[in-house]
Chains A and B, each alone.
Chain A
């Protein structure tokens, strides 16, 4: 028995050594969640664009977006794809992070890739009907729920009068069908499946009236890493810019790269629109998010957005 444990410990130590040796100098590990927002990084990896620009990139699939700041700080990943709300809350909490490039942003072409889907029995037709209802969202305080709440506020409804519960994407259809929630705040590829199975109907496209180019995901790192690796940051930006063009012009390549990275079956991805890749990130975009989050009292302080984008 001791031999087994010794072997196990030995193997563990050896693998730890191996994996840390893999993260030498210009090696960059990029951490993203299983959405299409990091398509530019996935394509840059798949098409050898990172390699061409002198970056040795690996990508790690992160389960929860809110784990990204801690993963950045521990140097497990050097660049991550947080949502603006996760990023700003981390910065607000004192973590020294900077945005290095844009990943995806809202666009008129993709407003229908997210929405709130209600069970027919809930009889929800307009924003006012959500008062007192139970609504499932993939994460409280996360991207979709914040923008859904903004939609409610803009329609004159106080989101505090809505009961939010967390429901993961894959269980949304079943949860809605069972009647445990009246509606779910969802996105593709789940949304069209829920509608196709007859479980629910779209009760509102809350991205529809948003201004264009509001970031959904952007690439961020710690300020320390970005300051220490200016060439890597530059090479990353160049790569993402080139890859973003490929994603937007040739979505099939984006789908293939996303399928390889997230393991979402290609036939699921083939039926859905990819988020628009937008390699630029600007202060005005962060300001909009700060204002949106302040509307919902999500921030303690006032983040200095001028310093939050790496020069």
Chain B
């Protein structure tokens, strides 16, 4: 297995070489395509002059803050809805009416309220991350072994004690799945907001490069966003494994 790890790279490498040859041979004047070597050169240039790192920081800060905010709100709402059935029934119509709104559709409103900058992006990212976390948390609450709740009652634990000692630990694996889902959404939404309106971060970098007629730089940003997304997911998966051990893993696989 270990000795043949490179086999997976054969197809992508062949495709890149083919693209390079095609671009060189066709001598194209395209303003939306560039040869892989030019893209790599543009990527290195943007990394070394710091512009891409600043953009990465801006995007990750917004996506991270939005994820944190939306995640916490989602967790809180999910717990309330999951633990108090009457609230859940009362809020069902409201939640189901707001939830399907595409996050990008709230952009014009967010722009009027917050203006350009981090707050607008954080608000939209939080809006998109709230729902998956809320729904998975609510489901996790419903999935808690009833006997555990009975134990809590027999021990006469207070509400806070019950949440901290029984509910959260029991629901944690599913909540972790929700956070990983939401993290992927956060990055997508952050970049989308930047391309559509917000003048900062990686998405704005794509836009400026596109409008500045620099397809090599535009595609370099695209490649870099892929790298960032992949690393983010790998980091989260690693953190999950290290922090929660096998319990989270097994449940996650089953969920």
Contacts and interface: CB of A to CB of B under 8 A. Distances in A.
A11 B213 contact: no
B36 interface: no
B91 interface: no
Contact of A70 (B32, B68, B112): B112
Interface stretch (B96-104, B117-125, B247-255): B117-125
A71 B118 contact: no
A264 B212 contact: yes
Interface stretch (A57-65, A141-149, A245-253): A57-65
A4 B32 CA distance: 36
Contacts of B211: 33-34, 61, 63, 169-170, 262, 264
Nearest to A19: B117
A137 B76 CA distance: 47
Interface string A52-74: 00000000111110010011011
B214 A63 contact: no
Contacts of A13: 65
B68 A268 contact: no
A74 B112 contact: yes
Interface in A143-166: none
B50 interface: no
B158 to A, nearest CB: 25
Contact of B68 (A5, A20, A189, A264): A5
A77 B239 CA distance: 41
Main secondary structure of the interface of B (DSSP, over half): helix
B110 to A, nearest CB: 9
Nearest to B212: A263
Nearest to B66: A12
A71 B236 CA distance: 35
Count class of interface residues, chain A: 35 or more
Contacts of B236: 1
B139 interface: no
B29 A74 contact: no
Interface in B178-230: 195-197, 199, 204, 207-215
B29 A193 contact: yes
A286 B199 CA distance: 29
A1 B248 CA distance: 16
A1 B241 CA distance: 12
Chain B's interface size range is 35 or more
Interface string A15-33: 1100110000000000001
Contacts of B61: 8-9, 11-12, 15
Interface in B27-49: 29-33
B116 A74 contact: yes
Interface string A62-96: 11100100110111110000000000000000000
B122 to A, nearest CB: 7
B115 A67 contact: no
A189 B32 CA distance: 14
A63 B65 contact: no
Contacts of A5: 64-65, 67-68
Contacts of A76: 111, 115-117
A173 interface: yes
Nearest to B203: A63
Contacts of B118: 12, 15-16, 19
Nearest to B64: A8
Contacts of B64: 4-5, 8-9, 12
A132 interface: no
Highest count of chain A CB atoms <10 Å: which of B62, B68, B119, B212: B212
Interface string B56-78: 01101110110110000000000
A190 interface: yes
B33 A174 contact: yes
A173 B30 contact: yes
B213 A264 contact: yes
B208 A193 contact: no
A16 B117 CA distance: 7
A171 interface: yes
Interface string A222-252: 0000000000000000000000000000000
Nearest to B62: A12
A265 interface: yes
A283 B239 CA distance: 63
10 closest cross-chain pairs (CB), A and B: A74-B115, A8-B64, A76-B115, A263-B212, A76-B116, A34-B211, A170-B31, A12-B61, A12-B65, A70-B111
Given A170-B213, A263-B212, 14 more contacts: A4-B64, A5-B67, A8-B68, A61-B199, A61-B211, A64-B196, A71-B115, A74-B114, A169-B211, A170-B215, A171-B31, A196-B29, A262-B211, A262-B212
29 contacts: A5-B64, A8-B61, A8-B65, A8-B68, A9-B64, A12-B61, A12-B122, A15-B61, A20-B117, A60-B199, A61-B211, A63-B197, A64-B196, A70-B108, A70-B111, A71-B111, A73-B112, A74-B114, A76-B116, A76-B117, A170-B31, A170-B32, A170-B211, A174-B30, A189-B213, A190-B31, A197-B29, A262-B212, A268-B213
